[in-house]
C-alpha cells in the first residue's frame, strides 16, 4: 500500500481509523458474499499462497484487521453511549488514536531496523489485546472514564504504528521478491473486504451486545493474530548494525534514503498529494450528503461502499495486470483512472444533480479499483527498493510524509468547506487527487517492467589483495 487514507480504500499496510463510519449501514448478512468470495480467491493455490509462513501472516492480518474494523464503531460508541461523552471528548479519543502516527513513526522505524520484527509484531498484538480487555472490564464495572479511554486509545495507536512498520519489513523475509506483488495483492484485497464487512459486523455487535462486549471481539482479533505470528518458525537474523548511532541520526538516515531514491520519492509525493486532496474531498462530501436529506448517512454509506468493492476488485487483479502489462504501465494506468475518477464524478454531480448518486458511486468504484491495483504494487516496490537494514526507517519516513498530509488536509477541508461551500471544496479536493498522478507520470517509474529491476542489490565485495611482499 501507499500509505493512503481509507475513505477511498487503499493499501497492504492497514492505515489509521477512518473519519466516517458510513459502512456501518451494511448488515453482516449483506457482507457474507464478499467474505466468501475473498476466502475463495485468497485460498487458491498461487505463488504466494503456497508459502506456509505467508498464510500465517495473512491470517494474522485478517484477524487483527477485522477486529480493528469492529473497534472502529465500538470505541466511539463506548465513548458516546456508555460514557456519555460530548462531541469534543469524542474528538480527543480519535486524536489519541491518530497522534502516534505523527509522533512515534520515525522512532519506531529505528527500532524496527535494530531488532527482529516478529517479536515486535507479537508484542504489539498482545499489548493491544490486553488493553482492550481491560477497557471492556472497566466499562462493564462502571469504572471507565473518558480520560482512561483516551489513554487506552493512545496506547492502541502507538502499538498499531509498531505493528504496521514491523509487518512491512517482515513480509519480504518470508516471501521471495518475485511473489511480493501477489502477496501484497492478497493482503490488500483482504483488507478491502474487511472494510466492507467489518463495520457492519461491528454495528450489529454494538446493537445486540453493547459496546464493551464488542470491544472484547476487537481484543480477540489481536490476541489470535499474536498466536498466528508466534507460529511462524523463521530464523530472523539480527539486523546488521555495525555501528550503533543515536536514534535521531538513524532516523535522519531513513529520511535521507527516502529523499534520494528517485522511485520512493516519487511514490511518497503522489501518496501525500492524494491524502491531502482526499481529506478535503471526503470532509466536503460528507457534509454535503449528510445535510442533503435524512437519508444522507445511508446514501453516503452506499457511495463509499462502492469504493471498497472497487478496491477489492483492483487488488485481486493487480498480479494479473502487472504480469501482462508490466509494473510501470499498470501502475500509471491505475493512477490515471483511480485519481481522476472523483473529479469526473463531482463534475457530473454538479452539472446534473439528478445523477449525483450514480455518478459518485461509479467514481468511487473506479477510484477504489485504481487504489487497489496501485497500492499493492507500490507496497511491493517499497519493500525491496532499499537495503533491508534501512527498510524500516525509510518506510517510517514515507508514512510520515504521506500520513502527515492528512492533518493538513483536515484543516484545509474545514476551511474550504466553510469559505467556498461543499461543492467547490469537493472539486478542489478531487482536483488535488487528480494532480497526484503527475509525479509518477513524469518519472521513470512508468518504464519499469518488473519490480526486480529496481530491487536493491548489495554491492559485491571486492577482495583486498595483499600488496606487501612476503618475507624471504
Q: Is the pLDDT of residue 467 over 60?
A: no
Spatial separation of the C-alpha atoms in residues 106 and 401, rounded to whole Å: 11
According to the per-residue pLDDT averaged within each range, which of 23-27, 279-283, 463-467 is highest?
Answer: 279-283
Check residue 337 and give its pLDDT.
Answer: 93
* Predicted local confidence at residue 339, as pLDDT: 94
Residues with Cβ within 8 Å of 282's Cβ and at least 6 positions away in sequence, in order, are 5, 7, 8, 19, 20, 413, 429
304-345 confidence digits (pLDDT tens): 778 888 888 888 888 788 778 888 888 899 999 999 999 999
The DSSP-derived string for 233-279 is ----PPP--SS---HHHHHHHHHHHHHH-HHHHHHHHHHHHHHHHHH
Q: Which residue has the higher pLDDT, 193 or 310?
A: 310
Report how far apart, in Å, the C-alpha atoms of 471 and of each of 248, 400, 417, 465 are: 49, 59, 83, 16
Q: Grid coordinates representing 83?
A: 460514557
Q: What's the CA gap between 339 and 357, in Å, rounded? A: 19
Task: Indicate whether 13 pLDDT > 50.
Answer: no
Specify the range with the lowest mean pLDDT, choosing from 27-31, 297-301, 462-466: 462-466
Let me know: does 30 contact 197? Beta carbons within 8 Å: no
Q: Is 435's pLDDT higher than 70? A: yes
At residue 18, the pLDDT reads 39
What tens digit of pLDDT does each residue of 150-187 get? 999 999 989 998 998 898 888 888 888 778 778 888 88
What does the pLDDT average to over 245-270?
82
Which phi and psi (to 5°) does residue 443 adopt?
Answer: -105, 175
Q: Give the number of other CB atoms < 10 A from CB of residue 191.
A: 32
* Amino acid 299: pLDDT: 76
Alpha helices, DSSP H, located in 385-453: 388-420, 422-435, 438-441
Residue 392 in grid coordinates: 524500516
Sequence-distant (≥ 6) Cβ neighbours of residue 320 within 8 angstroms: none
Look up the CATH number of domain 22-234+247-454. Answer: 1.20.1250.20
pLDDT digits (tens, 9 = 90+) for 199-224: 566 666 776 777 788 888 889 999 99
- pTM for this prediction: 0.71
How large a percentage of the chain has pLDDT more than 70? 78
Helical packing angle, 422-435 and 388-420, nearest 10°: 150
pLDDT value at 363 more than 90: yes
Other Cβ atoms within 10 Å of 52 Cβ, number: 12
Higher-confidence residue: 127 or 245? 127
- Angle 180-209/356-384 helices, nearest 10 degrees? 130
Per-residue burial over 117-152, b = 16 or more CB atoms within 10 Å of its CB, e = otherwise: bbebbbbbbbbbbebbbbbbebbeeeebebeebbeb
Comparing 93-97, 234-238, 307-311, which segment has the lowest mean pLDDT? 234-238
8 A C-beta contact, residue 11 and residue 3: yes
Residue 422: exposure state from Cβ atoms within 10 A (0-12, 13-18, ≥19): buried
In the chain, % of residues over pLDDT 90: 21
pLDDT at 464: 40
Report which of residues 358 and 260 the model is more confident about: 358
Residue 137 confidence class, pLDDT cut points 50, 70, 90: very high
Distances (CA, A) of 429 to 276, 342, 406: 8, 9, 12
Mean pLDDT (the chain) is 78
Distance (Å, rounded) from C-alpha 185 to C-alpha 198?
A: 19
In this predicted model, which residue has the larger pLDDT, 241 or 284?
284
Residue 223 has what pLDDT?
95
Domain-wise residue ranges, the chain: 22-234+247-454
Please give the residue that has the higher pLDDT: either 467 or 453: 453
Per-residue confidence band for 33, with pLDDT thresholds at 50, 70 and 90? low
**What's the pLDDT score for residue 38?**
52
Cα-Cα end-to-end distance for the chain: 64
Q: Which residues have CB under 8 Å from 413's CB, separation 6+?
A: 279, 280, 281, 282, 283, 284, 425, 429
Mapped onto helix, strand or coil, the DSSP state of residue 436 is coil
CA 413 to chain centre: 21
Amino acid at each position: 500500500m501507499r500509505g493512503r487514507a481509507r475513505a477511498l480504500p487503499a493499501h497492504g499496510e492497514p492505515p489509521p481509523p477512518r473519519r466516517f463510519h458510513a459502512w456501518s449501514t451494511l448488515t453482516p448478512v449483506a457482507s457474507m458474499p464478499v467474505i466468501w468470495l475473498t476466502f475463495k480467491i485468497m485460498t487458491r493455490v498461487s505463488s504466494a499462497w503456497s508459502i506456509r509462513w505467508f498464510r500465517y501472516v495473512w491470517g494474522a492480518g485478517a484477524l487483527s484487521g477485522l477486529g480493528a474494523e469492529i473497534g472502529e464503531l465500538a470505541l466511539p460508541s463506548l465513548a458516546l453511549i456508555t460514557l456519555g461523552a460530548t462531541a469534543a471528548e469524542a474528538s480527543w479519543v480519535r486524536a489519541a488514536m491518530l497522534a502516534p502516527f505523527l509522533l512515534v513513526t520515525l522512532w519506531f522505524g529505528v527500532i524496527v531496523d535494530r531488532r527482529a520484527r516478529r517479536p515486535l509484531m507479537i508484542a504489539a498484538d498482545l499489548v493491544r489485546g490486553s488493553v482492550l480487555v481491560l477497557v471492556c472490564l472497566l466499562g462493564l464495572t462502571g469504572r471507565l472514564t473518558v480520560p482512561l479511554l483516551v489513554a487506552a486509545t493512545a496506547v492502541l495507536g502507538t502499538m498499531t504504528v509498531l505493528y504496521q512498520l514491523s509487518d512491512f519489513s517482515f513480509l519480504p523475509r518470508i516471501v521471495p521478491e518475485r511473489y511480493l506483488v501477489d502477496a501484497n495483492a492478497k493482503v490488500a484485497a483482504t483488507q478491502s473486504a474487511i472494510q466492507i464487512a467489518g463495520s457492519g459486523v461491528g454495528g450489529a455487535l454494538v446493537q445486540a451486545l453493547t459496546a464493551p462486549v464488542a470491544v472484547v471481539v476487537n481484543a480477540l482479533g489481536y490476541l489470535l493474530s499474536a498466536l498466528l505470528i508466534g507460529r511462524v518458525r523463521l530464523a530472523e537474523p539480527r539486523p546488521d548494525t555495525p555501528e550503533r548511532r543515536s536514534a535521531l541520526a538513524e532516523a535522519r538516515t531513513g529520511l535521507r534514503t527516502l529523499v534520494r531514491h528517485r522511485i520512493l520519492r516519487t511514490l511518497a509525493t503522489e501518496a501525500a498529494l492524494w491524502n491531502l486532496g482526499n481529506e478535503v474531498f471526503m470532509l466536503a462530501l460528507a457534509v454535503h450528503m449528510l445535510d442533503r436529506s435524512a437519508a444522507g448517512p445511508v446514501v453516503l454509506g452506499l457511495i463509499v461502499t462502492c469504493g471498497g468493492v472497487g478496491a477489492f476488485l483492483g487488488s485481486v487483479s493487480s498480479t494479473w495486470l502487472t504480469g501482462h502489462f508490466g509494473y510501470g504501465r499498470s501502475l500509471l494506468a491505475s493512477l490515471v483512472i483511480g485519481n481522476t475518477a472523483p473529479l469526473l464524478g463531482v463534475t457530473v454531480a454538479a452539472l446534473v444533480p439528478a445523477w449525483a448518486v450514480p455518478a459518485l458511486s461509479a467514481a468511487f468504484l473506479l477510484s477504489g479499483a485504481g487504489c487497489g491495483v496501485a497500492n499493492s504494487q507500490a507496497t511491493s516496490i517499497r519493500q525491496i527498493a532499499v537495503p533491508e537494514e534501512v527498510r524500516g526507517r525509510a518506510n517510517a519516513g514515507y508514512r510520515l510524509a504521506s500520513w502527515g498530509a492528512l492533518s493538513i488536509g483536515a484543516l484545509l477541508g474545514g476551511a474550504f468547506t466553510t469559505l467556498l461551500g461543499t461543492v467547490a471544496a469537493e472539486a478542489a479536493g478531487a482536483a488535488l487527487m487528480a494532480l497526484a498522478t503527475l509525479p509518477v507520470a513524469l518519472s521513470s517509474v512508468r518504464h519499469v517492467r518488473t519490480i526486480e529491476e529496481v530491487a536493491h542489490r548489495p554491492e559485491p565485495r571486492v577482495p583486498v589483495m595483499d600488496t606487501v611482499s612476503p618475507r624471504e
